[in-house]
Structure 1
Amino acid sequence: MCHLYLHKYELETTIVPELPKFALIKQYIIDNIRAARWLENERVPSENELADQFNVSRMTARRALSELTEAGILTRSQGLGTFVASFKSQSSLLEIRNIADEVNARNGKYSCTVLTLELIAAVAPIAIALGVEADAPVYRSVIVHNENEQPLQVEERFVNPQLAPEYLDQNFELTTPHEYLSQVAPLTEARHTVEAVMPSREVCQWLGLYNEEPCLQMIRRTWSAKGIVSFARLISPGSKYRLGGHLTFKQRS
């Protein structure tokens, strides 16, 4: 089975000559972040600078920056450049709801299909996102959430075993990962990144998409009082899912 995240990064723990140039650029950036040579919110080299440094095309440099941005390691600002993402917790403006509760609130019938539950070694981007050492053991799950027996969302989640040691022992057909983690490591803060993406062939298969259509992708990291609990990617068909929320602002006195 192809990992949504790991198939992109499984070769990055060691730089070898056989690696393609975009992967070498990614590893170079990750190494500088891990060594604290580039700090949070610090600007990283531009596409042109990386292209000159590694003697590659701008497209190759752009791919490296884009994939690290997708993984939440970097953040890009139009007209300003690319920066090291903040790895500190950030309060969420979106209410985080259990997807089973969302479906039930619409009078739908919730179910799920568990595709993967496993222990893996954290490659660099996952290790950074969870705040653990590279190659440290982490839990990984891939679950398809259904509404009225129709696929609604693919969830790939990486979990810190120190904060949820019995994660792999759970029956996620009876409780969702969000619900379980909220019990054993109560959520205090979260960070979201939301964007439109075109799904891979494998994701299309899981979501039952016979024609490619844009999907809504949410990258989410969650914190408890003891640290980063999980790092997840949630992908939903654009025609079936939307985000919404309600904000209340204090009146000025």
Structure 2
Amino acid sequence: MGGRSRNAVALLDRPERKSAGPVPHYRRIKEHIVRHIEAGEWRAGDQVPSESTLVKQLKVSRMTVNRALRELTHEGLLVRVQGTGTFVAERRPLFNLVELRNIAEEIASRGQRHSAKVELLRSEKASADVARELGLAPGATIYHSLLVHFADGMPLQVEDRFVNPATAPGYLEADFTTVTPNEFLMRAAPATEVEHIVEAAMPDARARRLLKMADGEPCLRLRRRTWSGNVIVSAATLLHPGHAFRFATRFSHRADGTSKRQFL
């Protein structure tokens, strides 16, 4: 991999536009590493040159290299393993937490192929807990679906969803390998209100198997309820492997009372 960095010193000496001012060396080192990753020369799991190697190649201090690697690690592009080295991180999709987007669209927007496998799709009687979530009486008939969503063939989400049948006629006949439950429900009963609860959790044996997770690995659990008017349409639990998934949203509030939302 070292042979790919022959022009590293030239990178650091490259003149910048006067209006931008001089760019600190640590930022140029970051750009150098990011350029290799984006070009596909350093792929997920590849070890990047050591601090000592980068110091020699780029003619900068160890402190400068350390800062660049530390910031890229914080930003999720690199993973540093104590006593082993620094590696290119697996791509971790950022999913919009506030917007109610179709997971198939989210995956496609990142240049990956979405597919889904239906593990369960049936009518059943609501338990007391599920009935309470849906605002129905215990024992009421509900629809229950369980799907695994994949990105480029890798399991990314287990979707366990309970649906109020009155809001979704035809739900049990839908082909959820070609249309997601989210997309179906948004057509049948467009959401006017959404509740999200995100927490870290240990998956049960079934979810661990479906997501191909290692023993002891935690997951991110998103609990979502949607309303259409005053009626609760569905209550879903969405499980994601913690090593390959994250949510991030940033808000800023201005003095004039308006707000700006930025997805990280």
User: TM-score range with shorter-chain normalisation?
Assistant: 0.5 to 0.7
Q: Which runs of 5+ in 2 are unaligned?
A: 1-95, 258-264
Mind listing any 5+ residue stretches in structure 1 that lack a counterpart? 1-91
Higher strand share: 2
Give the match for residue 234 of structure 2: 230
Look up the SS of the partner of 1:182 in the other structure. helix
Moved more, 237-246 or 168-177: 237-246
**Partner-residue secondary structure (3-state), 2:217:** coil
Is 1:131 the counterpart of 2:162? The answer is no
Alpha-carbon distance in structure 2 between the residues aligned to 1:114 and 1:107: 23
Other structure's SS at 1:172 match: coil
Instruction: Tell whether 2:125 aligns with 1:121.
Output: yes
Indicate the residue corresponding to 2:185 in structure 1.
Answer: 181
Residue in structure 1 matched with residue 158 of structure 2 by the alignment: 154
The range that moved more, 239-248 or 162-171, is 239-248
Distance of 2:193 and 2:173 partners within structure 1: 25
Q: Is the 8 A contact 1:163 1:226 kept in 2?
A: no
- Are 1:95 and 2:76 matched, yes or no? no
CA distance in 1 between partners of 2:162 and 2:173 (Å): 15
User: CA contact under 8 A between 1:154 and 1:203: conserved in structure 2?
Assistant: yes
Tell me how far apart the structure 2 counterparts of residues 184 and 226 of structure 1 sit (CA, whole Å): 15
Task: Let me know the Cα RMSD of the aligned residues.
Answer: 1.7
After TM superposition, the score normalised by the length of structure 1 is 0.61
- Paired letter, 1:139: Y
Cα deviation, residue 249, structure 1: 3.6
Partner secondary structure for residue 162 of structure 1? helix
Alignment check: 8 A CA contact 2:164 2:234 kept = yes
Cα separation, 2, equivalents of 1:250 and 1:186: 31
Q: Which moved more, 1:99-108 or 1:240-249?
A: 240-249
Which shows bigger deviation, 191-200 or 92-101?
92-101
Secondary structure, counterpart of 1:209 in structure 2: coil
In structure 2, the residue corresponding to 1:94 is in which secondary structure? coil
Measured in 2, the distance between the counterparts of 1:226 and 1:148 equals: 38
Identity of aligned residues (%): 42
Q: Distance in 2 between matches of 1:177 and 1:186?
A: 12
Q: How many residues align?
A: 162
TM-score by length of 2: 0.59
The structure that has the greater radius of gyration is 2
